[in-house]
Amino acid sequence: MTLTPVQTLIIILMATLGTVITRFLPFILFSGKNGNHPYITYLGNVLPYSAIGLLVVYCLKDVNLLKSPFGLPEAVAITCIALLHYWKNNVLLSIGTGTIVYMFLVQRVFQ
């Protein structure tokens, strides 16, 4: 199915409108004289940790502990990330280094 230029423009405008509404609606709904709504403050404190937890679970969901390499590359990379973050307290450095370590292990060591 081929779209006409007008249909393509309408789809782009609707996607843009949906994005703008979802981005600005919380600021419109929860704006007021007394600053942030307590629920928004709560979500701001809780969501970063839950998002990281979700990413960890998603990354480890296909690890098979019963088949070689038994999750060893993942365990080494997670240990590297945790130790480097504990030592340097730099998120970008620890995640970047952990990614490099994991990719090296998967592509060169545990082929």
> Which pLDDT tens digit goes with each residue over 17-38?
999 999 998 788 777 766 677 8
In a domain, 111, yes or no: yes
Into how many domains does the chain fold? 1
Which 3 state secondary structure label does DSSP give 68? coil
- For residue range 71-91, list pLDDT tens digits in order: 999 999 999 999 999 999 999
Residue 105 in contact with residue 79, Cβ under 8 Å?
Answer: no
Confidence of residue 92 (pLDDT cuts 50, 70, 90): very high
Residue 110 inside a domain? The answer is: yes
Q: Is 35 a member of any domain?
A: no
Q: 27-65 burial string, b = 16+ CB within 10 Å, else e?
A: eeeeeeeeeeeeeeeeeeeeeeeeeeeeeeeeeeeeeee
φ and ψ at 93, to 5 degrees? -65, -45
- Residue 32 covered by a domain: no
Q: Is the pTM of this model over 0.85?
A: no
- N- to C-terminal Cα distance for the chain? 42
Residue 76 lies in a domain: yes
Segments forming the whole domain that contains residue 94 = 62-111
